[in-house]
Structures are given as structure tokens and as C-alpha cells.
Amino acid sequence: MKTLALILCLISVTANSKGILEDIDSLGNNKQIAERSRQIRGENKIRIVQNRTVDRNNRFELGVNYDMVAGGDPYINTNNLGFQVDFHFSPKFSVGVRHYETYARLSAEGERVFDAYDRAFSQGDFRSRPEVDYPLSSTMGVATFYPLYGKLNFFNLGVTQFDVYVLGGYGKMLLKSGTSDTWTAGSGIGFWWSQHLSSRLEVRYQNYTDKVNNIERNEGVTSFSAGMGILLW
């Protein structure tokens, strides 16, 4: 009896093993499972991350931006309205022209100083009137390099392509006192929302020379910029 029971047990195990092997073998013939397996391969994931969805080879970009400016003459606060044209040779490099219209007003310190002068003048104190100098506009040629690239899930609404970039430029600035050479350097992030829509967040340092009481002064300002652009073609 023991021998018979052992034989029956071996037959059962063999049958079950055969069924399991057949099920495993059938996985390779299941088209849905095989397709899913190919989709989750690591090399495919890397290719998707690295692929650029927005083409920037030999394309023009037109943009407008607004700058909040810190620094410069302590008696003056300024902001910029900027316009730019860039030609992208490739996703890594572009050159362009930037023009800024500058809007100036007295700072809190400037209002205090000029109010004190007006009071003194009304009381017969004819001291020298304080002088200020400030930018009116500037135009520069700019070169931009985009060394870092990535993609961002924007609030689960879609995947946005972005580049971290650095820039440098040189040109002329028109001031209340005349004209000055000016140069700039900075960095920022460019977002490419579609084949034709872009935006930028940027921090830029700009240096120039102004003149107060016939004395030239080396000035520097830092601009915090936000802008929108359109990619042509």
C-alpha cells in the first residue's frame, strides 16, 4: 500500500509540474505581456528622458521681459522693460540682441535728500542741489550657452522641457548724463512649453559708468527678470 501511495504521489507532482511549466512557457507567447515587458526596459526609459521634444536648431526666438533692478545710484530706483531677438544655432548655443527701456524714480533715500534740499532752499539756504544720474535705455549683443537640460512634470498637466543657461553680452547704455559702455553676465532657466511658446526666469548683472558732478562712477546693477517668447518656424 505504501508503494502504491508513493507512486500516486509522484504521478500527481509530475502532472502539476507539467502544468506549471506549460503556463510559464505560455507567457512568452502572450503578446500583451511581451509588449509591456519591452516598454519597461531601462534603455527605453533613458531614451525618453534624453529626447528633446522642442526643436531649436536654426530657429529665431522673439521675447519680451520685465526686470526688477537692484543697485545703481542710491537715490534712484529703476525697472526695465526688455525686448530680445535670439537665433538658436542648436539647443546648446544661441546669439542675439537685447534692448531695455529703463524707468526711473526717486528712492526713499532720494526723496528724503531732495525734500531736505527744498526745505533748506525755502529758508534761504542756497546749497548745491543734489545731482543724480540714471539709465534711460541700453542695447547689447548677447551670446547664450545651454549646458544643462531636463524635463519637468508641470502639476501633472504635462511634461515641460527646460534648459539651464549662462549668458554674456556687451553694448551701449544711454544715461541722463550721456552714453556709456556696458557689459552683462548672468544665468537663468528657459522653459519650452511647445514648438512655439517659451518663457524665461533670469538673474543678470550689468555694469556701466555714470557721471555726477562731472565725476565718473563705476556702477553695477542686478536684474531679476521674467519673460515670454515665441519660437518662429
84-135 tens-digit pLDDT: 999 999 999 999 999 999 999 999 999 999 888 888 888 887 777 888 999 9
SS (H, E, C) 64-79: EEEEEEEECCCCEEEE
**Residue found by looking up cell 522641457 in the block:** 161
* CA gap 125, 173 in Å, rounded: 36
Q: What is the pLDDT of residue 118?
A: 87
Report which of 167, 223, 224, 226 is spatially closest to residue 199, judged by C-alpha positions. Answer: 226
Residue 52 host element (H or E): none
CA-nearest of 105, 190, 112 to 147 is 190
Name the pTM for this structure. Answer: 0.74
Encode pLDDT of 140-156 as tens digits. Answer: 999 999 999 998 776 76
Any idea which residue has 522693460 for its cell? 81
Q: What is the pLDDT of residues 12-52, one digit of tens each?
A: 545 455 554 455 455 555 556 556 656 655 554 444 445 67
Least confident of 21-35, 61-75, 122-136, 164-178: 21-35
Residue 72 — left, alpha, or beta (φ > 0 → left; ψ -120 to 50 → alpha)? Answer: left
* Cell numbers representing residue 21 in the block: 511549466
